[in-house]
Amino acid sequence: MPIDLNEHLRQKNKNYKSQQENGGNGNNGGGNRNFQNYSKMPSFNMPSGKKMAAIYVLIILIVLLFLLKPFAIINSGEVGVKITTGEFSPTPLQPGIHFFIPGIQRIIPVNTKVRIAEFISAEASIFRGRDEGSLKNQAINVLDSRGLSVSVELAVQYRLDPLSVPQTIATWGQNWEERIITPVIREIVRNVVGSFPAEELPTKRNEIAALIDQKFRENIEGLKNRPVELVSIQLTEIVLPIAIKEQIERVQVARQEAERARYEVERAKQEAEKKAALAKGVADATIIEADAQARANRLISQSLNGSLLQLRQIEVQGKFNEALQVNKDAKIFLTPGGATPNIWLDSKDTQRATSIGQ
């Protein structure tokens, strides 16, 4: 037990004074005076034995806490799985700090964020490197319906169901991706792509992606506790054999040429139709004009009668009279009845003849 120094000094001083008082001689008195002239020792507030024991226990607990670390911190986007003597707790631990008994229990943090499993070529994998939350795999080699080798690249986005994480880890283990995602995707892609000929794959890209997505969802939903939630599947690349590529290019060039020829034929046809329409329009216009003129002539002929012709004859005769006043040498030939217009000739200019009539 620790010794209280102040109590010891007080007890010693008390004993010494008692001895001096009981001695009664001068020498002892002188000794007493000498002792009284000594300065007192400084006092120290030393903790009691119980307090020291509590401090020692606290220090030991702190050391053990940092050495054994009987706690785990679950971050956001994770859940914890507590394992007690090999048995998984069915309730996932939410983000925060959680304690466990070292040697008997342990806590495993499991990522529940969206993850990506990429199936890409080896060259692309080296170029991109490895990202957190991304699982790199080799591109999927597939034989088409005719036995030609085709390489398919795609990316699968998925996440663990947070509520069923303990059951998932207990059933599939911590490497669950290699059992639930990778082999299932490879099998589905081979079945879907293998049912098409290679030359049809580029044109049916969307249909193939939809079929892969549908079959993978059906597979996941058929698993117990539905451990994984599929977010999306992107079909990024379909690598065809060189011979198939060249064949597709030739077909595309032929289609472009046929389309261009079809366009030229359609254009020539439209030009011909345009010219025919213009010609028909001109002919129709001529016919319409002729019909109008014929109708006008019929109306004029119907309007002519004896009185009108006689009136016109008188009007023409008046014009000739006016002409004779200007040129008296003019010769006039009268045509009675009005069937033929009157004719007059200028005798001064035999080369010139003027006909006036109606």
Structural domain includes residue 182: yes
Question: What per-residue confidence (pLDDT) applies to 226?
Answer: 87
Query: Based on the domain organization, do 27 and 83 belong to the same domain?
Result: no
Structural domain includes residue 183: yes
**What proportion of the chain, given as a percentage, has pLDDT over 90?**
27
Q: Which residues contact 164 (CB under 8 A, 6 or more apart)?
A: 225, 226, 227
| Chain centroid offset of residue 190 CA | 26
- Read off the pLDDT of each residue in 21-26 and give the average, rounded to a whole number: 50
Structural domain includes residue 266: no
Per-residue pLDDT tens over the stretch 168-221: 999 998 889 888 999 999 999 999 999 998 888 888 999 999 999 999 999 988
Could you tell me the CATH number of the domain that includes residue 158?
Answer: 3.30.479.30
Query: Based on the domain organization, do 94 and 125 belong to the same domain?
Result: no
Query: Based on the domain organization, do 175 and 123 belong to the same domain?
Result: yes
Structure tokens belonging to residue 239? 């690598």
248 pLDDT higher than 80: no
**235/245 Cα distance (integer angstroms):** 19
**308/314 Cα distance (integer angstroms):** 10
What does the H/E/C string look like for the chain? CCCCHHHHHHHHHHHHHHHHHHHCCHHHHHHHHHHHHCCCCCCCCCCCHHHHHHHHHHHHHHHHHHHHCCEEEECCCEEEEEEECCEECCCCECCEEEECCCCCEEEEEEECCCEEEEEECHHHHHHHCCCCCEEEEECEEEECCCCCEEEEEEEEEEEECHHHHHHHHHHHCCCCHHHHCHHHHHHHHHHHHCCCCHHHCCCCHHHHHHHHHHHHHHHHHCCCCCCEEEEEEEEEEEECCHHHHHHHHHHHHHHHHHHHHHHHHHHHHHHHHHHHHHHHHHHHHHHHHHHHHHHHHHHHHHHCCHHHHHHHHHHHHHHHHHHHHHCCCCEEECCHHHCCCCEEECCCCCCCEEECCC
Structure tokens belonging to residue 72? 């785990």
44 pLDDT higher than 60: no
Query: Based on the domain organization, do 175 and 229 belong to the same domain?
Result: yes
Closest by CA to 335, choosing from 326, 327, 343, is 343
Give the residue from 111, 136, 168 where a domain finishes: 111
Query: Based on the domain organization, do 128 and 96 belong to the same domain?
Result: no
Structural domain includes residue 89: yes
Structural domain includes residue 16: yes
Structure tokens belonging to residue 279? 């010609």
How many domains in the chain? 4
Structural domain includes residue 288: no
pTM (two decimals) = 0.54
Structural domain includes residue 246: no
Give the residue from 211, 240, 269 where a domain finishes: 240
129: pLDDT confidence band, cut at 50, 70 and 90?
Answer: low
334 pLDDT higher than 70: no
341 pLDDT higher than 80: no
Query: Based on the domain organization, do 120 and 236 belong to the same domain?
Result: yes
Query: Based on the domain organization, do 106 and 119 belong to the same domain?
Result: no
∠214-218-220 over CA atoms, to 5°?
Answer: 120
346: pLDDT confidence band, cut at 50, 70 and 90?
Answer: low
Query: Based on the domain organization, do 206 and 120 belong to the same domain?
Result: yes
Give the residue from 111, 133, 168 where a domain finishes: 111
Query: Based on the domain organization, do 76 and 164 belong to the same domain?
Result: no
Query: Based on the domain organization, do 196 and 145 belong to the same domain?
Result: yes
Structural domain includes residue 225: yes
Query: Based on the domain organization, do 217 and 133 belong to the same domain?
Result: yes
Q: What are phi and psi of 6, to 5 degrees?
A: -65, -45
- Give the domain extent around 76: 69-111
Query: Based on the domain organization, do 195 and 102 belong to the same domain?
Result: no
Structure tokens belonging to residue 17? 């004074």
Question: What per-residue confidence (pLDDT) applies to 324?
Answer: 67
27 pLDDT higher than 50: no
